[in-house]
Amino acid sequence: MFQGKALSVTRLPDGIAELTFDLQGESVNKFNLLAVSELEQALTALEQAKDIKGLLITSAKDVFIVGADIMEFGAVFAAGPDQIIGHLANNNRNFCRLEDLPFPTVVALNGFALGGGCEFALSCDYRIASTAVKIGLPETKLGIIPGWGGTVRLPRVAGLDTAVEWIAGGKENDAAAALTARVVDAVVEPQKLREAALHTLNQCIAGTFDYCARRIQKKGPLKLNFIESMMAFETSKAFVGAQAGRNYPSPVTAIKAMQKAADKSRDEALQIEAEAFAKMAQTPVAQSLVGIFINEQMLNKKAKGWEKKADKKIGRAAVLGAGIMGGGIAYQSALKGVPIKMKDIAQKGIDLGLSEANKLLSKRVDRKKMSASEMGDVLNRIEPALTYDGFDQVDIIVEAVVENPKVKRAVLAEAETKVGADTVIASNTSTISITYLAEALTRPENFCGMHFFNPVHMMPLVEVIRGAKTSDNAIARTVAYANAMGKKAIVVKDCPGFLVNRVLFPYLAGFAMLLRDGVEFQRIDKIMETWGWPMGPAYLLDVVGIDTAVHAEKVMADGFPDRMKRDFTSCTDALFAAGRLGQKNDKGFYNYELDKKGKPAKAAAPEVIDILKPTITAAVEVSDDDIIARMMIPMATELMRCLEEGIVDTAAEADMALVYGTGFPPFRGGVFRWVDSMGAQAFCDMAAKFSALGALYQAPESAKAKAANNQKFYG
């Protein structure tokens, strides 16, 4: 009946038609402009055929429909509110026509049905899901709201509570959860899906199931009385607003759209949704979050590309050192199914590593994310070792012993003699040059950096560091291992601090200068947290460890003396001298005590005022905006230098490294996105205002060139 490049309609026996999504040349189905226009034509064919009694909708791929094509968002969003509303209306017309067909419609959901895919399903009369389904409305995670009827149909199909939870939370739901929430009508094994969907359709045709009643419910106002509605909406706005925070307006906007449309018919409600969508689509937050999504896709593709280049899959791994990091690496590897040997020189170390893994796994069991027997399987994949027995069988070793160049070089050289000729060895050092460590090895081509962040199970980033002699295969195997561990690998070149610490320490240098000039650290923490950082710089230093920071600051000063060498005693020097090491000994900028959940809770430490007093050499009045500028400029200038020097390949990877590695606020999209949003010229002007503070406040050549040519870092 219709044959397109994204979908087709064919006739089955007994007056049934089948609409099948199968986007040519792609591994997934999505609602791109092509699919929207083909759906329009397919609906015309269906409306014109007089002999159809029912419509079955299927996908020929492993997924159903993953959503709208996010790569098309940029052009649509930039075109202005009228165009955005027009764009939405095109597919909304389709979905309404589908909902108004003169015969029943049943969709067979076989895999991902997200965003527009879920909204499409909601406009069908019945939804039958396979157990493999993941369904949801993740739009608020992109800073927008559902725009193809999600806020209209979901509350009318599944009730307001589910709609608020699904839309404001943006989570993917499995088939069982979707059934409980009444978003789908039945769940069956994948091989029974088609049969079950056809059976439902036949029952609709026979009049056993009243599909028309469902349509009436979906097209009318929400069934809530005024008081119920007031209570439900006001409570959920307050709750969701507090959870999302003021930097993420879209979850509350979605609820407001549902509230405004609660007593309206379908078509009026869709208009309200479209207006709210257009408003959100034009916020910088949506631009940043969509940018992050696109960056993520690029990053995943690149990581997969490296994995394909690897000479073999990682079957077995090993970690040297069972401390904080080694224990975390062993846990993560075992959790994701890669068996790992965990070697230490001391039984004490091994006991600690194992007990950490045990603790993390027990939590998963308590939260019902894992069964006790699965926990046993994971623990069995960690093989504690005090010797190198069996190391000739491993494909990769991660070295995570103490941060001491001599010890590391000795350990690496020794390990190299115990492994196969092709085993890749990667160091988790945070400050020592990979090229320098490689000098201790006879096969430096098999060696690179693999820099995890603490805590390993929580932090998504792994920097894979290429030394002067590192081979492509060593990088490829290491990225493949990071992928297998569920981590986000970004390949960077060797330099002091690699990428993340190289730009984090200039930010912390900005902090030290502010303290030197008499600004209170609590005030800076508050301002930077309001700006979006998960923790202010003083709190961050306490978490990192003041001793670790002092050590890293020295490494950075030696590496980049022109920019990072200090001519004053800094706050970290003073705290270190006073024995205040941060959370690790319960006192740093703040004091720490374990709370009821066993987590360190921070409290003011009045004694720190006296410790820092001698380091304050001025009493400068600094505005809140200037504090932000003085903190962020050094990070941005250093990141620009990293891009200029090829330490990182692209602005997108640099931004993602900061989001994944430091918790840089996603709604700002990254440092380059932040600079782009103000414009390179405005950034250069801002830096010039503070140039007396030193070389970290000089705009690098790339910023000047972008300013001169009115260009952005994201082309």
Ligand X SMILES: NC(=O)c1ccc[n+]([C@@H]2O[C@H](COP(=O)([O-])OP(=O)(O)OC[C@H]3O[C@@H](n4cnc5c(N)ncnc54)[C@H](O)[C@@H]3O)[C@@H](O)[C@H]2O)c1
Interaction of residue 60 with ligand X, rule CB under 6 A:
no
Among 411, 490, 564, 680, binds ligand X (CB under 6 A): 411
Interaction of residue 236 with ligand X, rule CB under 6 A:
no
**Is the distance from CB of 338 to CB of 317 less than 8 angstroms?**
yes
**Considering beta carbons, is residue 346 or 577 the nearer one to ligand X?**
346
How many chain residues interact with ligand X (CB under 6 A)?
Answer: 24
Q: At 290, is the secondary structure helix, strand, or coil?
A: helix
Q: What residue number has its CB nearest to ligand X?
A: 323
Interaction of residue 345 with ligand X, rule CB under 6 A:
yes
Question: Smallest Cα–Cα separation from 8: which of 33, 43, 32?
Answer: 43
Interaction of residue 430 with ligand X, rule CB under 6 A:
yes
Query: Catalytic one among 87, 199, 451, 551?
Result: 451
Interaction of residue 92 with ligand X, rule CB under 6 A:
no
Q: At 631, is the secondary structure helix, strand, or coil?
A: helix
Interaction of residue 150 with ligand X, rule CB under 6 A:
no
Helices within 517-579 (DSSP H only): 521-531, 537-544, 546-559, 561-564, 571-577
**Considering beta carbons, is residue 290 or 489 the nearer one to ligand X?**
489
Q: At 441, is the secondary structure helix, strand, or coil?
A: coil
Give 374: exposed, middle or buried? Use CB within 10 Å, 0-12, 13-18, 19+.
Answer: middle
List the beta strands (DSSP E) in 90-222: 105-109, 112-114, 126-130, 134-136, 173-174, 186-188
**Considering beta carbons, is residue 39 or 320 the nearer one to ligand X?**
320
Among 321, 497, 537, 670, binds ligand X (CB under 6 A): 321
Interaction of residue 403 with ligand X, rule CB under 6 A:
yes
Residue list 152-181, contact with ligand X (CB under 6 A):
none
Question: Smallest Cα–Cα separation from 429: which of 457, 465, 394?
Answer: 465
**Considering beta carbons, is residue 492 or 515 the nearer one to ligand X?**
492
Q: Which stretch binds ligand X (CB under 6 A): 29-37, 214-222, 399-407, 489-497?
A: 399-407
**Is the distance from CB of 521 to CB of 653 less than 8 angstroms?**
no
CB of 409 to ligand X, least distance (A): 11
Q: Which stretch binds ligand X (CB under 6 A): 177-185, 287-295, 317-325, 367-375?
A: 317-325
CB of 432 to ligand X, least distance (A): 7
Interaction of residue 402 with ligand X, rule CB under 6 A:
yes
Interaction of residue 428 with ligand X, rule CB under 6 A:
yes
Residue 284 structure tokens: 């910088």
User: Which uninterrupted H or E stretch holds 318?
Assistant: strand 317-320
Report the distance separating Cα 10 and Cα 74, nearest Å: 34
Interaction of residue 463 with ligand X, rule CB under 6 A:
no
Residue 388 structure tokens: 């190198």
Distance of CA 288 to the CA centre of its chain: 13
What HEC string does 125-163 produce? CEEEEECCCEEECHHHHHCCCCCCCHHHHHHHHHCHHHH
Give 466: exposed, middle or buried? Use CB within 10 Å, 0-12, 13-18, 19+.
Answer: buried
**Considering beta carbons, is residue 116 or 349 the nearer one to ligand X?**
349
Query: Cα–Cα distances in Å, from 639 out to 377, 564, 606, 647?
Result: 42, 14, 35, 9
Among 4, 284, 323, 460, binds ligand X (CB under 6 A): 323
Interaction of residue 582 with ligand X, rule CB under 6 A:
no
Among 84, 160, 310, 325, binds ligand X (CB under 6 A): 325
Residue list 439-458, contact with ligand X (CB under 6 A):
452-454
State whether the Cα torsion 653-28-125-133 is positive or negative.
negative
Interaction of residue 679 with ligand X, rule CB under 6 A:
no
Interaction of residue 416 with ligand X, rule CB under 6 A:
no
CB of 403 to ligand X, least distance (A): 4
Site string for ligand X, 27-46 (x = CB under 6 A): --------------------
Interaction of residue 238 with ligand X, rule CB under 6 A:
no
| Active site annotation includes 87 | no
Residues recognised as catalytic: 451
Q: Please report, as ranges, the residues that interact with ligand X according to CB under 6 A.
A: 320-326, 343-346, 349, 400-403, 407, 411, 428-430, 452-454
